[in-house]
Chain A
Amino acid sequence: EIVMTQSPATLSVSPGERATLSCRASQSVSSNLAWYQQKPGQAPRLLIYGASTRATGIPARFSGSGSGTEFTLTISSLQSEDFAVYYCQQYNKGGSFGQGTKLEIK
C-alpha cells in the first residue's frame, strides 16, 4: 500500500500571505495526485487533480506541482475562506490519502 505523508501537520499563516503544503508518497505515483479541501462540518471538495490541474470553479490562487513522490499545493494569497484542512490523495494504485494539513490563521 502506498503511504502518503503530508507536512506540516499544522500551518499558521496570515491572510494575504502565501501557504505551501507538502505531500510525499512512499513510492512513485507519477502525476496521479489530487488535493482536497475540507472545512468543518462539510464534505471534502476537489481542488487539484493530475498533480497540477485545477478542478472546475477553483480560484487561480490555488496551484499544484510535483510528480513522482514529491508534491506541493500552493495558495498564493490566503483568503479567509481558505483556512481549512487539506488532504492529498494518490490514485496511481488504489487510493490513499495523506493525514491532512490544517491551515490556520496566524
Chain B
Amino acid sequence: EVQLVQSGAEVKKPGESLKISCKGSGYSFTSYWIGWVRQMPGKGLEWMGIIYPGDSDTRYRPSFQGQVTISADKSITTAYVHWNSLKASDTAMYYCARLEDDILTGYPYYFDYWGQGTLVTVSS
C-alpha cells in the first residue's frame, strides 16, 4: 500500500527556519516524482515544486523559486521542503503527493497519492 506520512504541525516565528518532511513507503521511492502543494487558509491548491529522488532533479513553480528548497533523502525514503526565513504569509497547510509520470519519458504528470498534510503557522 502506497503511503505518504508527513511530519506534524509546526508553529514558528517570522524569520525562523523550518524543514518539514514526507516519508514514502509501499512503492519504489526513487522511481516516482514527489511534489509539494500549498493551501493557504480558506484558499485553493498551489503547485510549489517537485523532485525526482532517483537523481534529485528538482523543478519549482517560478513564484516559489528561491523561497523554498525541496530535497529528498532516498536512503530513508523521505522528501523535504525547507524555509530559511519564514514569513507570516507562509502560514498554510502543505501537502506532499506522489506523481504518476509518462511511462516512456518520465515526464511528471498528476498527483495520485497524497500525504495527510502539515499545518505550518507563522506568527509573532
Which residues of A pack against B, CB within 8 Å? 1, 32, 34, 36, 38, 43-46, 49, 55, 87, 89, 91, 94-100
Contact = CB atoms under 8 A, between A and B. Distances in A.
B45 A44 contact: yes
B96 to A, nearest CB: 10
Contact of A94 (B44, B45, B47, B112): B47
B110 A34 contact: yes
A44 B62 CA distance: 23
Given A43-B115, A43-B116, A46-B110, A95 B95 contact: no
A46 B45 contact: no
Nearest to B107: A91
B114 A43 contact: yes
Contacts of A45: 114
A43 B45 contact: no
16 contacts: A36-B111, A43-B95, A44-B95, A44-B114, A45-B114, A46-B111, A89-B47, A89-B110, A94-B47, A95-B35, A95-B61, A95-B108, A96-B47, A97-B47, A100-B44, A100-B45
- Scoring A38, A44, A89, A95 by chain B CB atoms within 10 A of each residue's CB, the highest score goes to A95
Given A43-B116, A96-B47, A97-B44, 18 more contacts: A1-B61, A1-B62, A34-B109, A34-B110, A43-B95, A43-B117, A44-B37, A46-B111, A46-B112, A49-B112, A89-B45, A89-B110, A89-B111, A91-B109, A94-B59, A95-B35, A97-B45, A98-B44
Nearest to B45: A97
Contacts of B61: 1, 94-96
B16 interface: no
A1 B117 CA distance: 26
B73 interface: no
Nearest to B116: A43
A36 to B, nearest CB: 8
B10 interface: no
